[in-house]
Amino acid sequence: MTKPGHVPNSSPKEVYDGPPDYRQVGRHAMFPDTSHDEIARLNFLAQMNRHLAARVMPQVKAAWEQRAGPALVSRTGAPPRDRHAVREALLGDPAFQIWSALRRMTMEQRQEAGRWTAIRQAESLAARARDLTEGDERLLLNPGIKVPRYVSAVDHHCMPGSYHTELFPGDVSNAASYDHAIFATTGGLLGRYSDGGGHAVVKWVRDHLPALRPKRIIEIGATIGHSLLPIAKAFPDAEIIAVDLGQPVLRYGLARAKSLGIDNIRFVQADGADLSMFEDQSADWIQTTMFLHELSTPSLRAIFRETQRLLRPGGIALHVEQPQYAADMPLFEQAMRDWDAFYNNEPFWSRLHEIDLDAELVAAGFSADRLIHGGVTAIVDREVFPDAAEEEGEDYGRKAAWHVIGAVK
């Protein structure tokens, strides 16, 4: 007799390996209220992003190896000369077309879902931010600052208005959209508070630079400070400064940090290419986290020069980014990593990942024999959230595993 509930010849129960439920995301005083349907949308998008990375991407690679690549060689009589030739060959393949269209769709829908949640409560979010930050000297805004065209002309990763645009004075809706819906883009790989990268950097510094006792730490392009909070918590005696061009993310960031019990961060509106408000040799650690790819080349070089000027002897510059297109990186991987430059409103992505960052650091004044290279993966609550280092598959640009490049002055 068959036991009740037993399914004859059924396969063993599969272990769930998808993103955690959105309701596991960490909340704080600035976190937008989310309805049942809004949560369902974000869960769907997180699942879709993970599906595209783990299950559809391998089919694109197979299509390149079995169809598009051989067809290119047959047509030209030679292997592809560079990543651009690979991308052009893939454009005609249905596997790439489907993957690319779905990936773009999920980004657009993520922005629509996140913005709807934030905009419908924009006034109440602004009031919360005002109550938490008004009169607080840790928020230093510069209403007259000029936003460079390379920033103002781009809706970064399809976010209308990017990080700096306000719908009304005091608005923080873009910051709130970015904060609460980044879960959908990453599939939860950055943890409850999207701070897995910051925890990873803290671990890397403690493992490799255990003697470092920073008095002042600056993060350039900090947005809402999610990657900076673990650093501030790990070094409570340090003065922490979050620099960004956008007023909305800075207001929101300070309110968010205070509500999470982090009180040693100042949020300063400034262009990282001009930090003249800080004196020479006044910082011990300058950080960027997935920010260099949003910079024009002149701005990147100016930031490297400012970093070298600001650091004290023995201070460190750390830049966390996706890997460069080195000679040993397969052209297929380079082409797939280039997707963000062509289809995700990241116009500087391709150029950033092909230039010699070591040479740029040396040109900025750092010594070639004191350059830093390493790697980090997001460190999160493994009982609830997956470990980025163990995540199956590779989507060439979204996985929470990064390179570290920088220098000791």
Q: HEC profile for 85-108?
A: HHHHHHCCCHHHHHHHHHHHHHHH
Question: pLDDT of 147-185, one tens digit each?
Answer: 999 999 999 999 999 999 999 999 999 999 999 999 898
Task: Give the 3-state secondary structure of residue 368.
Answer: helix
Distances (CA, A) of 59 to 55, 63, 274: 7, 6, 45
Predicted pLDDT at 191 = 86
Segment 307-321 shows an average pLDDT of 97
> Smallest Cα–Cα separation from 409: which of 316, 305, 320, 286?
316
33: which DSSP letter? Answer: P
Task: Please report the sign of the dihedral spanned by the C-alpha atoms of residue 25, residue 30, residue 36, residue 39.
Answer: negative
Task: Using the predicted structure, report yes or no on whether residue 3 has a pLDDT greater than 80.
Answer: no
pLDDT for res 6: 41
Mean pLDDT of 112-124: 97
**How much is the average pLDDT of 262-277?**
97
User: Is the pLDDT at 400 greater than 70, yes or no?
Assistant: no
Closest CA to 163 of 294, 301, 350, 292: 294
Give the per-residue pLDDT at 1.
38
pLDDT at 279: 97
Residue pLDDT, tens place only, 194-252: 998 999 999 999 999 999 999 999 999 999 999 999 999 999 999 999 999 999 999 99
- E strands, 299-388, are 311-321, 371-377
pLDDT band at 186 (very low <50, low <70, confident <90, very high): confident
Q: Report residue 314: phi and psi, to 5°.
A: 90, -10
What are the tokens at 250?
């800075």
H runs (alpha helix) in 134-195: 149-152, 173-186
Six token digits for residue 240: 């922490």
pLDDT above 60 (res 9): no
Q: Provide the 8-state DSSP code for 389.
A: G
Q: Which pLDDT score is estimated for 379?
A: 74
Stronger pLDDT, 316 or 53, i.e. the higher one: 316
DSSP designation for 311: E
Q: What is the pLDDT averaged over residues 375-401? A: 66
Predicted confidence (pLDDT) per residue in 103-112, tens digit? 999 999 999 9
Mean pLDDT value across the chain: 91
Q: Can you give the residue ranges of every domain in the chain? A: 22-140+148-174, 189-408
Residue 146 has pLDDT above 70, yes or no: yes
The predicted structure's pLDDT at residue 208: 93
Burial class (CB within 10 angstroms; exposed 0-12, middle 13-18, buried 19+) of 283: buried
Check pLDDT > 70 for residue 388: no
Q: Enter the CATH code of domain 189-408.
A: 3.40.50.150
Strand 139-140 versus strand 216-220 pairing type: unpaired
Pick the closest to residue 68 from 97, 41, 47, 32 (CA basis): 97
The structure tokens listed for 211 are: 């003697």
